[in-house]
Amino acid sequence: MPDVIVIGAGPAGAVTAALLRRLGYAVEIWERQAFPRHRIGESLPPRAVDLLKHLRFEANGFAVMEGHTSIWGEAEPHRAVFQEGYGLQVQRDRFDQKLVDQSDASVYFGRTALGLVQEDGKVAGVRDKDGEVRARFVVMASGPGKSTRHLRQSAIFGYWKNSRHPEGSQANDTVIESFPDGWVWSLRLADDTRNVTVLFDTAGISYEDAIRQTTFVRRMLDGAELVSRAVGCDASWQCAETFAEPGLLRVGDAGSVIDPLSSQGVYKALCSAMSAAVVINTCLKRPGLERTALDFFNEEERRTYDGYSAGSIATFRQEQRWPDRPFWKTRHELPAFDIRTRAFSQELANAIESGQAMDLCVRNAAGTRVAQKPAISGSLIELEEYLVSPAFEYGYRGAPGDAIRRIHRTLRVPKRVGEILDELAPLQTSMMLRIIAYMYREGLIEPL
């Protein structure tokens, strides 16, 4: 019997399987399709490339992306060059194959999971057409499913030859261009084909009509030839009710699907895979911490989805040229996630940080407290101390978190900034001033 069955061999499944194999578990991947197979989602931002390197996955042989170009909110193109690292434009058939080849799991292509085996209130295996296979844990990494859709939209994508790519370092940029009824996305792959994807939510819009409404993308396609079918797919936001239950995790798109606008779907899948491996390891090695580990996964994945949704809503609001067109009206009316701006004086924060407010007396803001919360510690989930506040229940931990908690403890009674430094000596003064200023900006401390 395998320890873990992973359903789906996309980035989420392959990476979860690989990390579990490295922890010594027997892992099977069931993939319903034959690989290599096409998948839309080809633009990897620098943070995804960095994470793959960090996790020791090889992903060479793809087009290097040095920035992105957007025509959004105004007619003029705006180019942002990555300050650190580089992104990749990957053909997903080759990319996903590479990841699964590096998983070291037993991979079964053409094997479709048809249902889950339940026993004593937990998932205990997977069913396929030949019967059931038991496992100690199951990972659902099967891509977008039937979860609740929070924003319905569709995409049509096609591949073009002989397009006019931008020149120089801009050549491999991801290009995003809004138009009255949606937005268009385009990128160049290593074989010189160009993907052009249209995002829309109105029935009846044609691929060619949408492209005709653009300027930058239309110009790139002047004289180019569409060499594939234009294929439609669902691109709605989705989020599962729960990401974790006893014996089962939903990882990557199987847990939640974010707007392609962010081009972070693969990165999110990699992060989710990393947490999943640690959570499963904890459930199998420390059964007493199972509930804590599952709660951790649920909270992290929910928070991630909310964070990306908030980011997309903020980006939609930057496009105000067609406020009465249904596509933009729908997006502008999306409930703003709780993006609270904290009231603080930037002048005072600067004074604290530069050491010019040593006599300022500060105290803990009402409601801040130290709480035990689950966190990743090596390959396990452990309970760790976080400083939480009414405005940020998720809390602060980690290396600066240690200093934050110490400052919180010392501020049980109000103190001057200079006194805090004396108490925490020999910690580096400039770093401590930065942390005190940060705590002030985050609303964790307040001046008396």
Ligand X SMILES: Cc1cc2nc3c(=O)[nH]c(=O)nc-3n(C[C@H](O)[C@H](O)[C@H](O)COP(=O)(O)OP(=O)(O)OC[C@H]3O[C@@H](n4cnc5c(N)ncnc54)[C@H](O)[C@@H]3O)c2cc1C
User: Could you list the residues that contact ligand X (CB under 6 A)?
Assistant: 7-13, 30-33, 39-44, 112-113, 141-143, 155, 197, 233, 235, 252-254, 260, 263-267, 269
Q: CA triplet 412, 413, 418: central angle to 5 degrees?
A: 110
The alpha carbon dihedral of 417, 423, 425, 428 has a sign of: negative
Q: Report residue 236: phi and psi, to 5°.
A: -75, 155
Q: Which residues of 323-337 are buried (b: 16+ CB within 10 A; e: fewer)?
A: eeeebbeebeebeeb
Alpha-carbon distance of 84 to 180, in angstroms, equals 33
DSSP per-residue letters across 334-394: SPPP--PPPP--HHHHHHHHTT--TT-EEEEPTT-EEEEEEEEETTEEEEEEEEEETTEEE
What's the min distance (Å) between Cβ of 359 and ligand X? 50
Q: Give whichever of 275 and 364 is closer to ligand X, judged by the CB atom.
A: 275
In the block, which residue shows the tokens 């994945």?
A: 301
Strand duo 174-179 + 67-71: pairing: parallel
Asked if 36 and 9 touch (Cβ cutoff 8 Å), the reply is no
What's the min distance (Å) between Cβ of 292 and ligand X? 25
Strand, coil or helix: 298: helix
Q: Give whichever of 143 and 401 is closer to ligand X, judged by the CB atom.
A: 143
Q: If we measure between CA atoms, which residue out of 156, 159, 259 comes closest to residue 206?
A: 156
- Going by the DSSP 8-state scheme, the letter that residue 307 receives in this structure is H
Asked if 88 and 105 touch (Cβ cutoff 8 Å), the reply is no
What's the min distance (Å) between Cβ of 6 and ligand X? 9
Asked if 137 and 280 touch (Cβ cutoff 8 Å), the reply is yes
Q: Give whichever of 253 and 319 is closer to ligand X, judged by the CB atom.
A: 253
In the block, which residue shows the tokens 């669902």?
A: 234
Q: Give whichever of 18 and 289 is closer to ligand X, judged by the CB atom.
A: 18
- Going by the DSSP 8-state scheme, the letter that residue 412 receives in this structure is T
- End-to-end Cα, the chain, rounded Å: 63
Q: Give whichever of 42 and 290 is closer to ligand X, judged by the CB atom.
A: 42
What's the min distance (Å) between Cβ of 266 and ligand X? 3
What's the min distance (Å) between Cβ of 367 and ligand X? 37
Q: Give whichever of 217 and 352 is closer to ligand X, judged by the CB atom.
A: 217
What's the min distance (Å) between Cβ of 284 and ligand X? 22
What's the min distance (Å) between Cβ of 14 and ligand X? 7
What's the min distance (Å) between Cβ of 130 and ligand X? 13
> Which ranges constitute the DSSP H helices of 256-289?
265-285
Q: Give whichever of 268 and 415 is closer to ligand X, judged by the CB atom.
A: 268
What's the min distance (Å) between Cβ of 152 and ligand X? 13
Alpha-carbon distance of 139 to 247, in angstroms, equals 8
Q: Give whichever of 32 and 302 is closer to ligand X, judged by the CB atom.
A: 32
Residues 6+ apart with CB under 8 A from 393: none
Q: If we measure between CA atoms, which residue out of 325, 321, 336, 330 comes closest to residue 72?
A: 321
Q: Give whichever of 5 and 387 is closer to ligand X, judged by the CB atom.
A: 5
What's the min distance (Å) between Cβ of 337 and ligand X? 20
CB atoms within 10 A of CB 11: 31
What's the min distance (Å) between Cβ of 260 and ligand X? 4
